[in-house]
Amino acid sequence: MKPSLQEIAATIPLTDNHCHGVIRGNIERPVFEITATESDWPEPNGMTIFDSPVGIMMRSECASLLDLPRHSSPDDYFNRRYELGQAEVSRRLVPATGISTFIVDSGFKSDNVLLPSEMQELVPGSRAFEIVRLETVAEQMAHNTTASTFIADYAAALALASKDAIGFKSIIAYRYGLDFNPARPSKSEVEVATGEWLASNEQRGKIRMDHPVLLRHILWEAVDYKRAIQFHVGYGDSDIVMHRCDPTQMTEFLRMTVDSGTSMMLLHCYPFTREAGYLAQVYPHVYLDTGASAHWTGLSSPTIVSHSVEMAPMSKVLFSSDAFGLPELYFVGTLVWRRAMGDILHKWVQSDGLGYDDAVKYLGWMANDNARRAYRLLPE
């Protein structure tokens, strides 16, 4: 008897198209609580993140791997994970995801999280590849550049930072919005903008790449590499203005880059999953995943995952966890996607709308092969 689609989905190795490192060392309750949400503030009135969709999934699905009963109380769950320690929780949960390839954005809070090579060591036999965050490269060189040298300085810094990377990440959605001017800025525009940006950094006492002209410049610098570029889309922390994170806002940029040789990876996408699916159907270099939106929505995640396959070709949908910091986020993000996609394909086959062999093939594409094509990875 052939295995069911749910059985295959539950066990197939996965390429995590976008994730971050696990936090180093044991963490206290307040750090855990704030890491388990995109909010910049703790839950009010003494409430806990364990009563959010993702927290409920942690207490039900991660509990047994920490030697706890399902549906443990928030205090029992946290006390047990603290007793085990972050390293042991990671050792138990991350390999249990079945992720065989990690594609790691190393540009966010990189001082206190595991590097790509350390994520690879956490899961024996796995592979890990780096994604370079464009804005982080600019921020790291801010003290060593001038208005007249920024173009050359950034080009050199990006070349060095990306020498072993397979792609780039843009957080222009956070720093400005996806409704940016799609045109590549001129040299003179960049010089003027650099002077303004350096002055603003000095005035506010911190470095933050948020000048709209420079955000466009560094994005086009990445396009020249003809590698995959990831875009944060939709749901995120309090930095974003949600309606400006609709990926259709960057339609003209996508039109301008159709023949550029790069892949445009739309990450997370909630609540714009359908819009992302439309773009993936229309533009040959556009891909999408449901990333963070799946684990943050917990038991409701099947609806969001289903939206990703409403319109997009099966060759354009990828898996990602977008996990950061907590091993639970890797485990929950993987689990909800496996269940949702297995159920979706099973229903299609049961209705005789899709053949079983095609369903197995498509699952393999979404779990691994689409990422290999988009990032030009060699098979394992």
Tokens for 150? 């920024």
Look-up: residue for tokens 């790449």? 209
Report if residue 201 sits inside a domain: yes
**Which pLDDT belongs to residue 380?**
64
What's the CA gap between 260 and 256, in Å, rounded? Answer: 8
349: domain CATH number is: 3.20.20.140
Report if residue 138 sits inside a domain: yes
- Contact between 298 and 263 (Cβ < 8 Å): no
Contacts of 157 (CB under 8 A, 6+ apart): 137, 138, 140, 141
Per-residue pLDDT 10s for the chain (380 aa) are 899 999 999 999 999 999 999 999 999 999 999 999 999 999 999 999 999 999 999 999 999 999 999 999 999 999 999 999 999 999 999 999 999 999 999 876 667 899 999 999 999 999 999 999 999 999 999 999 999 999 999 999 999 999 999 999 999 999 999 999 999 999 999 999 999 999 999 999 999 999 999 999 999 999 999 999 999 999 998 999 999 999 999 999 999 999 999 999 999 999 999 999 999 999 999 999 999 888 899 999 999 999 999 999 999 999 999 999 999 999 999 999 999 999 999 999 999 999 999 999 999 999 999 999 999 997 76
Report if residue 347 sits inside a domain: yes
- Contact between 319 and 366 (Cβ < 8 Å): yes
Question: What does the angle CA 75 – CA 325 – CA 26 come to, to the nearest 5 degrees?
Answer: 55
Q: What is the DSSP letter of 26?
A: -
Report if residue 287 sits inside a domain: yes
What's the CA gap between 103 and 100, in Å, rounded? Answer: 10
**Which pLDDT belongs to residue 273?**
97
- Cα of 143 vs its chain's centroid, Å: 29
**Which pLDDT belongs to residue 173?**
97
Number of other residues whose CB lies within 10 A of the CB of residue 24: 16
Q: Give start and end residues of each alpha helix (H) in 183-259.
A: 187-204, 212-223, 251-256
- Contact between 108 and 22 (Cβ < 8 Å): no
**Which pLDDT belongs to residue 308?**
97
N-to-C CA span, the chain:
28
- What CA dihedral angle connects 75, 81, 86 and 89, to 10 degrees? -140
Report if residue 36 sits inside a domain: no
Select from 290, 247, 283, 248 the least CA-distant residue to 263.
283
**Which pLDDT belongs to residue 107?**
76
Report if residue 65 sits inside a domain: no
Look-up: residue for tokens 């993702």? 54
Residue 304: give the domain boundaries: 5-26+85-375
Q: Give start and end residues of each alpha helix (H) in the chain.
A: 5-11, 29-35, 53-57, 74-84, 86-93, 116-122, 134-140, 150-161, 172-175, 187-204, 212-223, 251-256, 273-282, 291-297, 301-308, 327-350, 356-364, 370-375
**Which pLDDT belongs to residue 110?**
67
Report if residue 34 sits inside a domain: no
Asked if omega into 271 is within 30° of 0 (cis), the reply is yes
Contacts of 121 (CB under 8 A, 6+ apart): none
Q: Which residues of 173-208 are buried (b: 16+ CB within 10 A; e: fewer)?
A: bbbbbbbbebebbeeeebbebbeebbeebeeeeebe
Q: What's the pTM?
A: 0.96
Report if residue 74 sits inside a domain: no
The total number of structural domains in the chain stands at: 1
